[in-house]
A = this chain, B = another copy of it.
Amino acid sequence: MQDEAVVYIIDDDASLREALDSLFRSTGLSTRQYDSVAAFMAAAPPADTPGCLVLDVRLPGMSGLDFQQKLDELGIRLPAILMTGHGDIPMTVRAMKAGAVDFLAKPFRDQEMLDAVAIALDRGRQQRIASAKIEALKALHATLSPRERQVMALVSAGLLNKQVAGELDLSEITVKIHRGSAMRKMGAKTLADLVRMAEALGLAPE
């Protein structure tokens, strides 16, 4: 597994927290314990570190289901595993639709939880890899001047320099300059690279 990963345990039952804590630590995972959603939010802003949530659906204050939704709205992409003592089917469906990695009815076997955590951490890793690529591209794209961005979009759409010039009411030479600058700033060695970058950035001409 990944030993830098942190499992955030949120449950109001201290004995269960401790049990999970030792289970995870026995496999080399780091853990954090919280007795409520509020405690989690107050304590640890889970930046972009690897990890996952393990939480009960019924918690003091905010339910695990609402929390799941709230995290999503906040843009915090942390894979979640939900637990429940008295869950029903609609609750399960809602959790899974909201993207939960798993939904475990208490009592569950240690191995079930460990498997779920492994999947959650892997899913989180994939998400981080994917979003890191996009973020890197966005960062590069942000360094472009407005004109360079326009030219990049049109060139990536397949327009010739001449056509871009007509579209933006510029001379072809100017387009070449911006095009070259955009390629250099984006780190694109070839036009194919630039097209793929524009694709990943979702650049659509107008």
Chain A positions within 8 Å of B, measured between CB atoms, are: 84, 87-90, 92-93, 96-97, 102-105, 155-159, 189-193, 195-196, 199
Q: How far is the CA of A93 from the CA of B97 in the complex (A)?
A: 10
A193 CB, nearest partner CB in chain B, Å: 6
Given contacts A87-B89, A195-B195, contact A190 B103 (CB under 8 A): no
Nearest B residue to A103, CB-CB: B93
Chain B residue numbers with a CB within 8 Å of A84 are 89
A158 touching B191, Cβ below 8 Å: yes
- Contact residue among B96, B159, B196 (Cβ-Cβ distance under 8 Å from A93): B96
Nearest B residue to A89, CB-CB: B105
Chain B residue numbers with a CB within 8 Å of A157 are 192
